[in-house]
Structure 1
Amino acid sequence: MASNAPAPGGADPLGIHGVVPPTVTAFHDDESVDYEGTAAHARFVVDGGAHGVFPLGTNGEFAMLSGAERDRIVESVVDEVGDEVPVIAGVGAPSTRQTVARAEAAADAGADGIVVVTPFYYPLDGDGAVEHYRRVCDAVDRPAYVYHIPSKTGNALSLETVSELAAIPNLVGVKDSSKDVPWLGQAIDEHPDLTFLSGSDSLLFPGLEIGCAGMVSAVANAFPELVVDLYEAYDAGDEDRARELQSQVYDVRSALKRGPYMAGVKAALSLQGFEAGPLRSPLRRMEAADQAALEEELRELGLLD
């Protein structure tokens, strides 16, 4: 458990902290889900030191999947690593009804907690957000974490709304990908009982500095040891080393952003011999020239044998 690193919120029975990668969904070449490969990726990051796993986040391409596919992915990941680390499963959907169905299925599959992205596409006011989360939390006996990513959902939560959400008994944390540091800092200050997770690789070290107990890191999907080393250095009180590793994460993050959106993580995994297949259309793989350039950058960073 954390010592120098911020502690999880007192309301969080799972004590989520450290590195919690948003694991990928592996696909076969025909874009059908590779459930064994998906579970194997969860194994890959846990063997790399991850403190938990978050299947069916943005990196897990959850919005591209059917309900049945999502339910089976949770089952596969829980079966593979659920006895070793907490599995907090993404269950968000545009409608409350869909979200409740996915939350119930995740609970039935043995997920330790659920991560609920704010509903997307249609505009949502504060009252609507509170009612949505209340109904989802009432439906399952699992700790729930808000996933706040307004750049993708179109719906930002005000600090006032977060205060109302914090009153829901089994809503225990927030995974924030807004990159709005003042918002995050104020939310942490006002709600010490909640667990906060930094959702951007640009804010791993800064997130720890302002009170995040852990980090949901896309870089950790490909290089879990790097991000685990950053967290453990910080936790041990070696903040200078943690800051150096954050600088390296910046370089890796920039390299992974080469080419089509989100193609970098699976390309980097492939360069290490872990084949997670394509992304589901319309998302695309990295072109050969971009992958060659990525390989050169990662070798220069000392991350490939």
Structure 2
Amino acid sequence: MITGSLVALITPMTNNGDVDSVKLQELIEFHLQAGTHGIVAVGTTGESATLDYEEHANVIRQVVECVAGRVPVIAGTGANSTHEAIDLTKRAKDAGADACLLVTPYYNKPTQEGLYQHFKAIADAVDIPQILYNVPGRTACDMSNETSLRLASIKNIVGIKDATGDLARGKALIEAAPADFAVYSGDDPTAIDLILLGAKGNISVTANVAPAKASKAAALALEGKAAEAKAVDASLLGLHKNLFLESNPIPVKWACAQLGLCEEGIRLPLTLFANTFHNQVIDAMKQAEVIA
């Protein structure tokens, strides 16, 4: 079972919007040296929505090759087309990913039965561990706990990223889930609390900027050391909040650029981070002690 701080990795781009393969490799080494427990490639934070099909598959391949088995790689392969999600998942398996992360279909708003059939079809088609991803604030599609638990009975559906931020709902899911089905937080502000309730880790935006502290907080929480985990996490609270002053990944890419990890490149319809908010993110980075 994959556990700990799993960075929802940005996809570095040059200032003209091209994927920057050199910076991608440097970024992976930065995370491995900082103690990040796993890499999530081409999820929401990795701009999956604006990478074309070949770029999407190539970034997954590059991440797998660069990581070279040192930590697990989870590939974002979700889509609102079941056919497309199956194909991307096949390509991630062929590239050597350890698992896939599959977001609920966005925009077309399937029923709960439609969600079940969608994820079942992908699981039946591709023999790789699969993690469901529920983030209704972005998809306009909310998968119920009941549907998640129904899917948990499928052999290669091994977990869920719960980005609802609803701790009561997350606790209920953890308590009802089979022992071999992992619940991960996808909400940085509540992640440590959810891990202390039994979640297996956090798929984190904040970890892009403060990977060492994010991994330490997650590890302490997994050990049940609540006070110590929360003390580490307290220094990250500003990042948890201010990295969402504009739509993710706009602020986090800017923050990473300030650390020299990448250029500020991002693709339309996302735009460069507004000057109005720069000082708030800088203050949060100082609080996290990633800059002086």
Shared fold, TM over 0.5: yes
Q: In 1, distance between residues paired with 2:162 and 2:23? A: 28
Establish whether residue 271 from structure 1 lines up as the match of residue 258 from structure 2. yes
Distance 1:91 1:292, change over 3 A: same
Aligned positions of 1:208-287 closer than 5 A: 208-259=195-246, 261-287=248-274
Aligned positions of 1:158-237 closer than 5 A: 158-191=144-177, 192-237=179-224
Q: In 1, distance between residues paired with 2:287 and 2:251? A: 16
Q: Counterpart in 1 of 2:94?
A: 108
Q: Secondary structure at the match of 2:101?
A: strand
Q: In 1, distance between residues paired with 2:155 and 2:287? A: 48
Distance 1:108 1:218, change over 3 A: same
Distance 1:272 1:157, change over 3 A: same
Q: Counterpart in 1 of 2:51?
A: 65
RMSD of Structure 2 on Structure 1 (CA): 1.7
Report which stretch shifted further, 198-207 or 227-236: 227-236
Q: In 1, distance between residues paired with 2:144 and 2:246? A: 34
The amino acid across from 1:122 in the alignment is N
Q: In 1, distance between residues paired with 2:200 and 2:248? A: 28
Distance 1:176 1:266, change over 3 A: same
Distance 1:108 1:290, change over 3 A: same
Distance 1:236 1:180, change over 3 A: closer
Q: In 2, distance between residues paired with 1:129 and 1:259? A: 29
Establish whether residue 21 from structure 1 lines up as the match of residue 24 from structure 2. no
CA contact (8 A) 1:230 1:245 kept: yes
Q: Counterpart in 1 of 2:38?
A: 52
Q: Counterpart in 2 of 1:155?
A: 141
The amino acid across from 2:58 in the alignment is R
The amino acid across from 2:122 in the alignment is V
Report which stretch shifted further, 27-36 or 147-156: 27-36
Q: Secondary structure at the match of 1:196?
A: strand
Distance 1:238 1:209, change over 3 A: closer
CA contact (8 A) 1:260 1:285 kept: no
Q: In 2, distance between residues paired with 1:151 and 1:259? A: 14
Q: How many residues align?
A: 291
Per-residue CA deviations over 1:87-144 (Å, capped at 9, x if unaligned) read: 0100011100110110011111111111111111112112111111111112212100
Distance 1:158 1:28, change over 3 A: same
Q: In 2, distance between residues paired with 1:155 and 1:255? A: 25
CA contact (8 A) 2:239 2:281 kept: no
Q: Counterpart in 1 of 2:286?
A: 299
Q: In 2, distance between residues paired with 1:279 and 1:163? A: 37
Q: In 2, distance between residues paired with 1:276 and 1:190? A: 44
TM-score by length of 2: 0.94
Per-residue CA deviations over 1:40-68 (Å, capped at 9, x if unaligned) read: 32222222101111011111010111111
Report which stretch shifted further, 295-304 or 154-163: 295-304
CA contact (8 A) 2:196 2:222 kept: no
Quick one: which of 96, 110, 121 aligns to 2:82? Answer: 96
The CA deviation at 1:296 is 4.2
CA contact (8 A) 2:104 2:133 kept: yes
The CA deviation at 1:262 is 2.9
Distance 1:82 1:139, change over 3 A: farther
Report which stretch shifted further, 52-61 or 271-280: 271-280
Question: Which 5+ residue runs of structure 2 have no aligned equivalent?
Answer: none
Q: In 1, distance between residues paired with 2:186 and 2:102? A: 14
Q: Secondary structure at the match of 2:8?
A: coil
CA contact (8 A) 2:72 2:98 kept: yes
Quick one: which of 124, 127, 133 aligns to 2:113? Answer: 127
Distance 1:153 1:300, change over 3 A: closer
Q: In 1, distance between residues paired with 2:145 and 2:286? A: 43
Question: Which 5+ residue runs of structure 1 have no aligned equivalent?
Answer: 1-14
Q: Counterpart in 2 of 1:5?
A: none
CA contact (8 A) 1:36 1:76 kept: no
Aligned positions of 1:32-43 closer than 5 A: 32-43=18-29
